[in-house]
A = this chain, B = another copy of it.
């Protein structure tokens, strides 16, 4: 049994989903581990991870529109407002999705379903650099 890990930095440009499937699969393939467990972890509290359909990009737009409707940016709802009207909603949208994802590895790749892509979900209005750790355990 072996393990490997890597930092993946993603430059974002505002609230939306950013697909990282290809970068993740390339790194997994290069580790020479046939069967195991891949874990992704995002080191932020206003961005999150999501596995969702990557065939029609409008699915991603509709998901983002839903979360914008669900979590209002009305400042009067929040007490933590110093970091701007999009900050507290960003924390809540992150809490509603996930900070970490694990995917079984089979035949040397993350065993995603046919329509599944891995996304970083940026919840802040302005872009920033987001750090994700990829951790792989297996043999």
Residues of A within 8 A of B (CB): 1, 3, 5, 35-37, 39, 41-45, 50-53, 56, 58-59, 61-63, 65-66, 69-71, 77-80, 82, 88, 91-92, 94-104, 106, 111-116, 131, 133, 135, 137-139
Contacts and interface: CB of A to CB of B under 8 A. Distances in A.
A80 to B, nearest CB: 4
> Chain A contact residues: over half helix, strand or loop, or mixed?
mixed
Number of copies: 3
Contact of A43 (B58, B112, B139): B112
A36 B104 contact: no
A104 B102 CA distance: 11
Given A45-B116, A58-B78, 12 more contacts: A5-B106, A37-B135, A42-B113, A43-B113, A43-B116, A44-B113, A45-B53, A50-B95, A52-B94, A62-B79, A111-B133, A137-B137
